[in-house]
A = this chain, B = another copy of it.
Amino acid sequence: MGNTNNHTTSRNCFTCQTRGQTEWCVLSDDELEMVNQGKSCREYLPGETIFHEGDPCGGVHCIEHGLVGIRKMNAGGDEILLRLSHPGDTMGYRSFLGGDAHNNSAEAMEPSVICSIDEATVRKLLSMNPSLGLRFLRHAAEDLNAAEEMALQSATLPVRARFAHLLLVLKDRYGQDGKNGEMTLELPLSRQDMAAMIGIRPESMSRTIRSFEESNVAHFSGRRVHVPNLSGLLDELEIPDGL
């Protein structure tokens, strides 16, 4: 805020704040310079689409700043929000590797700066520096974990439990612990996006929130969530009756 705006400006990878946390941190200075040359950066406003499901995939996209939602929809038009991607995350590397079209879409959820690195450059880097591939592999492994966990949950747990789980996951990045198990969240998501994350309708999200209010599990005002006692949330995960 209060800063000058850069549109389509060329950013510098060497001074990129997220560099230490990304897969690209394994690159040498020479290699990083290649990225610098081969990339193009752009700003996106909330709601703008970075790539669509089905688009040809001509490279990978690295988030310098902001927040991006990865969405996927089925033939009937129903959409779910698969995950959130943060500064330092690289998107689209998977379709890129398989040579496929994108199989999900990416949309800016906050004002974001995205650097796109073209295909030739990435291929060259992958062959030059094997560590880069291993870094991507580890990243893919984590995503796979999360996706399988999600599949399990939406198949077996009721909505209350799934929502409690979501809040606990979001806590890692957006939560702030208080004393005595208190916790406060400042979410980057609208209600309907939360609904899309656990695969339910906005109406059901609304009812679940009210239900959490009534049982004093969590209190919601706007995008701020207050959890009086973490153990209350944890209890929700184990509802499916005493095994």
**Residues of B with C-beta under 8 A to A144:** 94, 140, 143-144, 147
How distant is the Cα of A160 from the Cα of B160 in the complex, in angstroms? 25
**Residues of B with C-beta under 8 A to A149:** 72
Copies in the complex: 2
In chain B, what residue has the closest Cβ to A196? Answer: B155
In chain B, what residue has the closest Cβ to A237? Answer: B75
A210 within 8 A of B: no
**Residues of B with C-beta under 8 A to A98:** 138, 141-142
How distant is the Cα of A97 from the Cα of B198 in the complex, in angstroms? 28
How distant is the Cα of A157 from the Cα of B143 in the complex, in angstroms? 23
Contact with A157, one of B74, B150, B241 (Cβ below 8 angstroms): B74
In chain B, what residue has the closest Cβ to A95? Answer: B141
A82 within 8 A of B: yes
A76, A151, A240, A241 interface centre (most CB from chain B within 10 Å): A151
How distant is the Cα of A138 from the Cα of B100 in the complex, in angstroms? 11
Lowest 8 CB-CB distances: which A-B pairs, in order? A155-B199, A130-B130, A76-B240, A147-B147, A78-B156, A94-B141, A140-B140, A137-B137
